[in-house]
Amino acid sequence: MTSALVVDTALVLLVLGLALWITAARAAYGAAVGFVAYGLLLTIVWVRLAAVDVAMTEAALGSGLTGLLLLGAAARLAPYEAAEYQRRPGLGLRVLVGVLCAALAAGLAAVVLLLPDPAPSQALAVAAHLPATGLGNPVTGVLMAYRAVDTLLESVVLVPALIGVWSLSTEMAWGGRPGFLTPWRSGSALPLLARVLPPFGILVGIHLVWAGADDPGGKFQGAAVLAAMWILVMVAGLREPPRVSDRLMRFLLVIGPLCFIGIGAAGIRLAGAFLAYPEAYAKPLILAIEVGLTISVTAVLGLLLAGPPAPEPQYQRQSRRRS
Amino acid sequence: MSGTTLFGLCAAALVGLGLYGLICQPGALRKILAFNLIGSGVFLLFGVIAQRGGGVLALAGTGRDGDPVPQALVITGLVVAFAATAIAVTLLVRLAETSARGTLEGDEPPPPAPSGERRP
């Protein structure tokens, strides 16, 4: 057994242990805390799988932002938890479900063990055509050139998701400020952190976007870091979330997809197909789309966490309690 | 057994564990957590396939391994999974605010309307 395999085995055991904890923990808050640690361990697994771009996304989005969302929800829903624990299915049913789920896992494990060798792969085709895009990072090349339709649809689908979150507000609250990120009590260290950390975080986020053309990184990773900085400032109470009726904010939310669709449509005339880039301008066009998408994805991620608009008096009451 | 296969088996176990939680956990937030476990297991399975597909790069002598196509799709998937989780959590908080419940149990029958106000 090599030393690398020992480390991998320990990592897998830790991941499975945390997954067990997330499933079995009595309180949802404890399970959500476990989920954050679980995401960070998965980040290491992704690095071990030679997928550094995915590892960064997992750390920032899968662990960080999703964790914050779940922790917030667990704190809000804690009063209802005792009643729902009573509704747990009986022991017999749980054993039956456990056996069936174990069978499913065993089936998937068999698929993993019986995967064809050598594995089918597009890696060589991507490597052969990457120079045409002017990019050095094959993952960015796939996201922006070969599978650009996926990326376009994904960046567009974020906007309806935000509309879905916003539409859960009450009629009275419409047009107000999102209410999930209630400012933290005064006297904590959070406002200090929210003043010291963002300059560095914003630099890291922009670097991730810029470096993503040639090295691991990219708009989604950068946008997640930028959104985290924005959320930190909002949670610390240094800035209020923008009103959902704010026209500038709405414009920023759609500028990325609009930029993407516009350049994609221009490709019909200039390069012969939707989302095709004329070869001489491929890299500048891709960078322009990346910048636009970074702005939009940052805004969407931050506002998804900020939740639906809350009634104005409630927000003011929370602000007063803070001061 | 290689480390990659080990991660593949781990992914299979995560899907099974997540499915168990999704069915057996009564609380809706716990179901969302379990659903995210299933999702991470599926992503990890895809990552294992990407790592195996990168073998051809090592054979061809080009440095980085890992098939970028599945990796890019996983990044897309992670962002969409976050958006879906945000909607699910918001729906749940709203449900709890309006009905003082945090589960997906069916509605109790509405209280019978007073006889005088019944519409013709």
CATH of the domain at B88: 1.10.287
Measured in angstroms, the CA of B40 and the nearest CA of chain A are apart by: 9
- Cα A208 from chain centre: 15
Average pLDDT, chain B: 82
pLDDT of B119 > 70? The answer is no
Give the mean model confidence (pLDDT) for residues A213-232.
91
Distances (CA, A) of A30 to A21, A275, A277, B76, B101: 9, 45, 48, 28, 20
Query: Comparing A200 with A189, which gets the higher pLDDT?
Result: A200
Q: What is the pLDDT of residue A179?
A: 83
Residue of B nearest to A98 (CA): B20
Domain-embedded: residue B114 = no
Residue B112 is predicted with a pLDDT of: 52
pLDDT > 70? residue B47: yes
Query: Does residue B100 register a pLDDT over 80?
Result: no
According to the model, what pLDDT value does residue B102 have?
Answer: 58
pLDDT for A121: 81
Question: Is B59 domain-assigned?
Answer: yes
Q: Looking at the whole model, is its pTM more than 0.90? A: no
Give the per-residue pLDDT at B118.
44
Determine whether B72 is exposed, middle or buried from the number of CB atoms within 10 Å of its CB (0-12, 13-18, 19+): buried
Q: What is the pLDDT of residue B108?
A: 53
pLDDT of residue A133: 82
With beta carbons under 8 A apart, name residues in chain A contacting B91: 168
pLDDT > 60? residue A318:
no
Three-state helix/strand/coil letters over chain B? CCHHHHHHHHHHHHHHHHHHHHHHCCEHHHHHHHHHHHHHHHHHHHHHHHHHHCHHHHHHCCCCCCCHHHHHHHHHHHHHHHHHHHHHHHHHHHHHHHHCCCECCCCCCCCCCCHHHCCC
Nearest CA of chain A to the CA of B120: how many Å? Answer: 30
pLDDT value, residue A174 = 85
Q: In this prediction, what percent of chain A has a pLDDT beyond 70?
A: 95
The count of structural domains within chain B is 1
Test B24 with A93 for CB contact under 8 angstroms: yes
pLDDT attached to residue A283: 86
The Cα A121–Cα B68 span in angstroms is 9
Nearest CB to A84; choose among B86, B89, B103: B103
Let me know if residue B49 belongs to a domain: yes
Q: Do A77 and B56 touch (CB under 8 A)?
A: no
Decide if pLDDT at A260 tops 80: yes
- What is the span of the domain harbouring residue B36? 3-101
Of A48, A109, A124, the CB nearest to B3: A48
CA of A7 to nearest chain B CA: how many angstroms apart? 9
- Tokens coding A109: 């494990």
Q: What is the model's pLDDT at position B67? A: 87
Is pLDDT at A106 greater than 90 in this prediction? yes
* Confidence (pLDDT) at A301: 94
What's the pLDDT tens digit per position in A29-88?
999 999 999 999 999 999 999 889 999 999 999 899 999 999 999 988 888 877 777 778
Q: Stretch A260-283: mean pLDDT, rounded?
A: 88
* Inter-chain CB proximity A42 and B40 less than 8 Å: yes
Distance of residue A294 Cα from the nearest chain B Cα, in angstroms: 13
Segment A254-277 mean pLDDT: 90
* A108 contacts: CB under 8 Å, gap ≥ 6: B11, B12, B15, B16, B45
Considering only the beta carbons, identify the residue of A12, A20, A308 that sits closest to B6: A12
* Cα B20–Cα B23–Cα B29 angle in degrees, nearest 5: 100
As given in the structure block, the two tokens for residue A59 are 């750390």
**Single-letter code of the amino acid located at A213:** A
* Residues of chain A with C-beta less than 8 angstroms from the C-beta of B65: 50
Render pLDDT for A165-193 as a digit per residue (tens, 0 to 9): 999 988 888 888 888 887 767 677 888 89
Q: Pick the more confident residue, A313 or B31.
A: B31
User: Is the predicted pLDDT of residue B115 greater than 70, yes or no?
Assistant: no
Query: B103: pLDDT confidence band, cut at 50, 70 and 90?
Result: low
What integer pLDDT is reported at residue B21 of this predicted model?
Answer: 93
Least CB–CB distance from B37: residue in A19, A48, A111? A19
Q: Is the pLDDT of residue A319 over 70?
A: no
Chain-wide mean pLDDT for chain A? 88
Q: What is the pLDDT of residues A107-161, one digit of tens each?
A: 999 999 998 877 788 888 888 888 888 888 888 888 888 888 899 999 999 999 9
Give the mean pLDDT of B77-91. Answer: 93
Position B116 in a domain:
no
